[in-house]
Structure 1
Amino acid sequence: MNLGDNQKKRLLQIARRAILSSLRRERIDHASCDTDELCGLVAPAFVTLTKNTQLRGCIGQLHPEQPLGELIARMACEAAFHDPRFPPLALEEAADIEVEISILTPLEPVGNSGEIHPGEDGLVVEGHGHKGLLLPQVAAKYRWDSSTFLAQTCHKAGLPKDAWKDPHVKIWKFQALVFSDNDFAEV
């Protein structure tokens, strides 16, 4: 999916406003999240929050049914207040949070590790009642090769790190359009 800069800025604005509205205990009008420039767009997406370059929350949806603007508002609040790895975001932290949005392409099945391009592809691993996902930027950040990326995605799923070799474990890859507050920071 291609988005123009105005659409990207609008989605970042939607995410930040949703978080601030929740912190202030204001009602979020999800219908207003989908302006003309976003109307009709539906895509899987994740919202990642960082504070001082450290992960502070990341939640998304692979199979959304709502429009993209509404999804981003909901996932921003989920990342801020319901990521089980972190305490809920506090109002005094809000100014220090960077918002990053990842809009995902459809999932493609992976037959072998040679089909994976770390840094370009994200991964989903599913098997034995477990499922895990890592975004493309995670492999790029840690400079993982394909095998390490697969092992880490299995680990995130709660599976043994070599579970990707099990024929009963399914693997998919995807790409993502990734943009953040930093992409539009004033110089």
Structure 2
Amino acid sequence: MAPSACIDLRPGERVHLLGVARASIESGLHQGRALSIDDADITATLAARLGVFVTLTRQCALRGCIGSLESAEPLPRSVADSAYGAAFRDPRFPRLEAAELGEIRIEISVLSAMVPVRAASREALLAQLAPAADGLLLKDGAHRSTFLPKVWEQLPEPAHFLEQLMIKAGLPANHWSSGLRFYRYGATCFSETFADTPA
């Protein structure tokens, strides 16, 4: 079964969420916390409770990525929290500094609901994957990892995609067990253009 349809955001709503993300990073730099969102600023569409990831790049290289697969908060709050986390809480990178802000490009991924993928073997799972479209969550006991759909850009072959997802979860690349569980999801992705990014 394919993942449920992703949210349909109008151009103005996308621009608004990107602005929230950048303002939240600025709030982190100047006030040490994520941007506070007033209920009055949340429209009916943006009140959706969906998973969100915010990815930061600098000179086309990853500079931070934080998010959640599910959320109990409306989209603007999830975006504000994830943007702050990507800038200041990604353990792979030092905290973002003010001098970097003008070089940072922001991308937001709003996720659809998770759909279980039933597969009795590695081959059966690979046959069900839709490259460039599916995000995939892996669970096996205490092991857990996910790749957003955009990861297919770096790992276009399903077998390699799955191997790297296993490794990310701390498992052998060729691992398979009866305890493995997979969930697929889609994503609506949008990002700042260079014209949107402050000089």
Q: Given the two structures, how large is their TM-score scaled by the length of structure 1?
A: 0.91
Structure 1 gaps of 5+ residues are: none
Question: CA, structure 1 residues 117+67, in 2 after alignment: closer, same or farther (shift >3 Å)?
Answer: same
Counterpart position of 1:16: 22
Q: Does 1:173 align with 2:188?
A: no
Structure 2 gaps of 5+ residues are: 1-6, 120-124
Say if 1:40 and 1:67, in contact at 8 Å, map to a contact too. Answer: yes
Counterpart position of 2:73: 66
Q: Does 1:156 align with 2:168?
A: yes
Counterpart position of 2:3: none
Q: Does 1:90 align with 2:97?
A: yes
Counterpart position of 2:122: none
Deviations 1:9-33, CA, capped at 9 Å, x for gaps: 0000000000011101266323268
Find the aligned partners of 2:186 and 2:40 in 1 and give their Cα distance: 24
**Percent identity, aligned pairs only?**
34
Find the aligned partners of 1:183 and 1:12 in 2 and give their Cα distance: 13
Name the aligned partner's letter for residue 168 of structure 1: G
For residues 121-140 of structure 1, what are the structure 2 equivalents within 5 Å?
121-139=134-152
- Find the residue that maps to 1:182 and give its secondary structure: coil
Deviations 1:125-148, CA, capped at 9 Å, x for gaps: 111301101111111x22421111
Q: Given the two structures, how large is their TM-score scaled by the length of structure 2?
A: 0.86
Question: CA, structure 1 residues 47+11, in 2 after alignment: closer, same or farther (shift >3 Å)?
Answer: same
Q: Does 1:145 align with 2:157?
A: yes
Name the aligned partner's letter for residue 131 of structure 1: R
Question: CA, structure 1 residues 26+156, in 2 after alignment: closer, same or farther (shift >3 Å)?
Answer: closer
Question: CA, structure 1 residues 138+33, in 2 after alignment: closer, same or farther (shift >3 Å)?
Answer: farther
Question: CA, structure 1 residues 159+143, in 2 after alignment: closer, same or farther (shift >3 Å)?
Answer: closer
Which residue of the other structure, out of 105, 119, 130, is the alignment partner of 1:117? 130
Between 1 and 2, higher relative CO (CA 8 Å, sep ≥ 6) is seen in 2
What count of residue pairs does the alignment treat as equivalent?
Answer: 184
Find the aligned partners of 1:114 and 1:22 in 2 and give their Cα distance: 44
- Find the residue that maps to 2:146 and give its secondary structure: strand
How much is the aligned-residue C-alpha RMSD, in angstroms? 2.0
Q: Which moved more, 1:7-16 or 1:32-41?
A: 32-41
Q: Does 1:103 align with 2:116?
A: no
Runs of 4+ in structure 1 over 6 Å off? none
Find the aligned partners of 1:50 and 1:33 in 2 and give their Cα distance: 31
Say if 2:49 and 2:70, in contact at 8 Å, map to a contact too. Answer: no
